[in-house]
Structure 1
Amino acid sequence: MANNILEGARDFQVDKLKINVTNVSSSSWGVGPLKELESRIAAGAIHDSAERCDAPKCHPETRVAVQDDLYGWIIDRDGDSEHPKKIKWVTGPAGTGKTAVMGSLSERCKAAGVLVATFFFASWSASIGRRRKTAFVATLAHQLSRYHPNLREEISKAVDANSDVFDKNLHVQMEVLVLGPLQEITGCPDGSDIRGAIIIDGLDECEAEQYHDTAIPGLGSNCPLPRSSDQDQLEILKVLQTAALHPSFPFRILIASRPEQVFREFFDPQNNPTPFSHKLDLHEDYKVDADITLFLEAQFNRIRRRYNLPLSWPPIEAIQTLVRNASGQFIYAATVIRYVAKSPKAHPDDQLQSILEMTPTTTSNPFEILDSLYSHILESSPDAALSVRWIRGIRSYIGSTESAYHVNLLLETKPGEAEYLLGSLHSLIRIPPRNAQATTKYDLYHKSLNDYLDDRDRCGRLYIQFDELIDFLWDRFNRACAIKI
């Protein structure tokens, strides 16, 4: 019940904003079609948005091979292939650097003038547009209108002639806002050599859009079941497939996601009689140990200079151990560096040694080493269980929309509790400085931490049941209300 109230309040605010925007027609205020289009986009999902200013990028000279391969595919268009494949699926487990690769590649394509459009989904984002499909096609069309003057004119005409297009399904939006305008300029001299890349990251993080009240057990089969995230992710995949197979569509599409079932089945050649895509696995297709070594060496050099440590620090054996432990996961290496560098109380070498001395047991869990690192860091909090409640509360309900200052007002039982609990967890959660907490939000560095905390088998005694989390949040909410009264 509490979860429904919290989610309902958030969705009510979003729906109210949508109603306000919808009720003010573009014609009544003299707003042009492209301004109407712009009002429908998810601006934070574009690769160079302000919301992504701290997004991960590839460390210089790392992931060079994969970026070169992807960039070459965009430019060369499969060479002289008679049946070019316009979609490439970039996949790999959590922490293999998919978002960093897509972000760096977007910048490279933009610098070369071949970037058409980007969309970076994020399940943690305060912007509902980055979490759901609603603004997906509109955001791509908006960027297309800036990419080419002829497309700009045709997209403007399409919006003007189809004022209700934003209330249509994604297939109709793609046809009206993208494919139709592309077809119109196919025969134009300026449009015959259009090429470039559309880059989509984190599609597995797209959550379901609900159009009706969801089913309630016991009310019978007439009450519709809620949509699943898989359904909306598959809808986007099919829309992109339709675009890629359209004769007037000239662009290459890159889709990055984890290897979840809906993606594995969709990109399985046996399920698609007409091959239209390539698969690239960052974990299996590229040996990343050299890149992780380069990253660790560069970051340890920076730490060594900051603390005036000897040139022999850290010993080469330590770096080799960390590379083995990373098992191809850049997130492990990045978390180690933050843990060593950002501790407010411990010397960097002490932090490093505590990681090297960890001895996880051998299990079938592919994230065993990463999970051990997360457990080790969380246990460094003076109250690990309470810290996890804070992190889960921040991540699930309040921190994605509220500033750190307001989160502290709600959750603290005494001044300074936030720093007491989270002060040793700077390697896991981005904590704004005190002078910026009124305008800046808490933020997890990587979604894999949330996956870890959601899985009882992975986080063990740190696991917090859903009912416990709701009770904790309601207790703090009631307390804050009582104090305010």
Structure 2
Amino acid sequence: MARIFDRAQDFRIDNFQVLSGHPSAKANPLEKLEAQVAVGAIHDSAERCDAPKCHPDTRVAVQDDLYSWILDGDGELDQPKKIKWVTGPAGTGKTAVMGSLSERCESDGVLAATFFFASWSASIGRRRKTALVTTLAHQLARYHPDLREEISKAIDANSDIFNKRLHTQMEVLVLGPLQEIAHHPDRPSLRGAIIIDGLDECEAEQYHDTTATGSKSKSSPPRTDDQDQLEILQVLQKASLDPTFPFRIIIASRPERVFRDFFDPEDSPTPFAQKLDLHEDYNADTDITLFLEAQFNRLRRRYGLPSSWPPPEAIQTLVKNASGQFIYAATVVRFLDKGHRESPKALLEAILEVKAARKTTSNPLEQLDALYSHILESSPDPPLSIRWILTIDWCATRAMLPIPLQFVASNANMLLQTDSESNEAEYLLGNLHSLVQIPSPSDQRTTRYDFYHKSLIDFLEDDGRCGKLYIKWSDVKLFLCDRFTRACATRI
């Protein structure tokens, strides 16, 4: 037991040093900046190798509209809007659109910087605000040699800049260098897009004030996610209003209140940013149809199914059930293709028979919820499976229990064992491959369990959506502590 916690402590120290970036005294300014970067948040990082992208020939109209806006703006010459808010409910494909747009902009030389937040990521840098400005500045320095020199000078002149608030970091690391090169007689013509996805998934950074005696003060309440998200929005807004700021900023998020109030305030008749709603402004049915047809062609080839499968009315039903949510279509395809003993034909018939619990038009996620329930109930023990899904998510992304994150991430399969002779992981999760990324037995020491979409966790955390499948967090905590204790006992 002691050895396990010692190893975990070493892990936390190592990661703290990497995240907080303590460069050596000999490091040059740009090396110091690189030590503060959330590498996994950049669009082409290794961490995003399996990130969703738009299927070929889908989401063409929305990508073209965004790309055109990046190049030509909105036609307002006096006060052009430099920020566009891309929104829509879970599953509308925001991250896929942002990922594909980032690659297109990079290919055409009009990408300034990207940052993809992810609440599920094991990297603290992708879950919090701390590394946002430094990651953007690092990319600006990489893409623009003129900015690189000025950013380097700014870091040299402000050695404590990485300990400053976001507003100050933006002023020193981005706006200051832009203002400097604006005075150059041969100043370069800069343009391009800064793309920030999943800002609604940014978690609050907590600070602890201390009293004169060194004890923590209880006078300041903990910061909320909304506060840090609003701070980021205000920093980006201020940057966009600077006359030397040449870039266009695209922010993608769900339509949470903090974003609605910021982008469409009741007391402002002229919003400072444009809004694009993927659910309301674009009819995704055609794109979802193209996606399903392409995937069914692949399934037919793989399983030797006749060209008459599936019948056209089946695809029409699936498109209707999707209600504009790409996540529904993607989950259906994975369900048909992920290691079930039944044939895809039988599985499709089962999906088409699934009915939503309620018949209203106000909730576009009804059919997705019904599909999630159907898949989870195919587990031999749904409550236990859900406990493990929530346990893996909680330990890998929130680390709110005094149990080493490294231990859980690399030993999830061991925790899932009730005894040395059984494989509880495969028993419980074997039918859930369409929802959970399960490593092969040979990779379970190095590869972590993961989920295809945060929408699954949203579903399980909402008792109004998942109904009888709902598990209280208090039960999950007790369950994990019991399993952790049992696992440690087997190692002593």
| TM-score tier after normalising by the smaller chain length | over 0.9
State the aligned residue count: 473
Residue-by-residue CA offset, 1:259-318 (whole Å, 9 max, x unaligned) = 000000000154456642100000000011000000000000000000110000000000
Q: Residue 416 of structure 2 is aligned with which of 401, 411, 414?
A: 411
Look up the SS of the partner of 1:55 in the other structure. coil
Give the one of 279, 296, 299 matched to 2:295.
299
Deviates most, 366-375 or 205-214: 205-214
Q: Who is 1:422 aligned against?
A: 429
SS in structure 2 at match of 1:388: helix
Aligned to 2:381, which of 380, 383, 386? 383
Q: Give yes or no for the alignment of 1:90 onto 2:86.
A: yes
Give the distance between the partners of 1:10 and 1:213, measured in 2 at CA: 29
Are the aligned partners of 1:123 and 1:207 in contact in 2 as well (CA < 8 Å)?
yes
Alpha carbons of structure 1 residues 194 and 393: separation in structure 2 relative to 1, 3 Å: same
- CA deviation string 1:125-169 (max 9, x = no partner): 000000000000000000000111110000000111111001000
Q: What is the SS of the residue equivalent to 1:423?
A: helix
Quote the residue 1:367 is aligned against: 365
Q: Is the 8 A contact 1:403 1:437 kept in 2?
A: no
Q: 1:425 to 1:20 in 2, by over 3 A?
A: closer
Superposition pairs for residues 6-405 of structure 1, below 5 Å?
A: 16-17=13-14, 20=17, 26=23, 28=25, 30-79=26-75, 81-188=77-184, 191-212=187-208, 222-272=218-268, 275-364=271-360, 365-398=363-396, 405=410
Letter in 1 for 2:487: A
1:16, distance to aligned residue in structure 2 (A): 3.7
CA deviation vs aligned residue, 1:393-437 (integer Å, no higher than 9, x gap): 001114775676511112321331101111110110111222222
> How far apart are the structure 2 equivalents of 1:10 and 1:331?
39
Deviation at 1:78, TM superposition (A): 2.4
* In structure 2, C-alpha distance between the alignment counterparts of 1:17 and 1:272, rounded to whole Å: 48
Q: For residue 361 of structure 1, report the CA deviation from its aligned partner.
A: 3.2
Distance 2:250 2:21 in 1: 36
Asked if the contact 1:85/1:275 (under 8 Å) is kept, the reply is: no
Q: CA deviation at 1:23?
A: 9.6
AA aligned opposite 2:380: P
TM, length-normalised to structure 1: 0.93
What is the DSSP-based 3-state SS (H/G/I as helix, E as strand, rest coil) of the residue aligned with 2:85? strand
Q: Secondary structure at the match of 1:88?
A: strand
Code of the residue aligned with 2:411 in structure 1: it is H
1:360-412, Cα deviation, whole Å (9 max, x unpaired): 23345442111000000000011111000110000111477567651111232
CA distance in 1, matches of 2:122, 2:85: 27
Secondary structure of the corresponding residue to residue 250 of structure 2: strand
Alpha carbons 1:403, 1:440 under 8 Å: kept = no
Distance across 2 between alignment mates of 1:391 and 1:315: 35
Relative to structure 1, the CA distance from residue 272 to residue 166 in structure 2 (aligned partners, 3 Å threshold; closer, same or farther) is farther
Please report the TM-score for the alignment, with normalisation by the length of structure 2.
Answer: 0.91
Q: Closer, same or farther in 2 for the Cα pair 1:255/1:111, shift >3 Å?
A: same
Look up the match of 2:400.
none
Residues 110 and 191, structure 2, Cα contact 8 Å, conserved in 1 = yes
1:441 Cα deviation from its structure 2 partner: 1.2
User: 2-side partners of 1:83 and 1:285: how far apart?
Assistant: 24
- Give the superposition deviation at 1:438: 2.1
CA RMSD in angstroms comes to 2.5
Q: Which amino acid aligns with 2:439?
A: P
Give the % identical residues. Answer: 67
The residue number in structure 2 matching 1:4 is none
Structure 2 distance, partners of 1:12, 1:213, is 24
> In the alignment, does 2:430 pair up with 1:434?
no
* 1:456 partnered with 2:467: no
Unmatched runs of 5 consecutive residues or more in structure 1: 1-7, 215-220
Instruction: Name which of structure 1's ranges 351-360 and 32-41 shifts more when overlaid on structure 2.
Output: 351-360
In structure 1, C-alpha distance between the alignment counterparts of 2:6 and 2:336, rounded to whole Å: 40
Comparing 428-437 with 291-300, greater Cα deviation is found at: 428-437
Distance 2:41 2:182 in 1: 28
The equivalent residue for 1:484 is: 491
With over 3 angstroms needed to count, the CA separation of the structure-2 counterparts of 1:26 and 1:462, relative to structure 1, is closer
Cα distance in 2 for partners of 1:242, 1:352 equals 51
1:40-94 CA distance string (max 9 Å, x none): 0100000000000000000000000000000000011223622110000000000
Are 1:47 and 1:103, in contact at CA under 8 Å, matched by a contact in 2? Answer: yes
Once the two structures are overlaid, the 10-residue window that deviates more, 253-262 or 263-272, is 263-272
| Letter of the structure 2 residue corresponding to residue 452 of structure 1 | F
Tell me what 2:454 maps to: 447
Which moves more between the two structures, 419-428 or 393-402?
A: 393-402
Counterpart CA distance in 2 for 1:113 and 1:264 is 32
Distance 2:437 2:320 in 1: 26
CA distance in 2, matches of 1:461, 1:106: 41
Return the letter of the residue paired with 1:168: K
CA distance in 2, matches of 1:252, 1:229: 25
> How far is 1:25 from its partner?
6.0
The one-letter amino acid of 2:113's match is A
Instruction: Give SS of 1:95's match.
Output: coil
What letter corresponds to residue 323 of structure 1 in structure 2?
A: V
C-alpha change, 1:73 and 1:9, in structure 2 (3 Å) is farther
Query: How far apart are the structure 2 equivalents of 1:74 and 1:24?
Result: 33
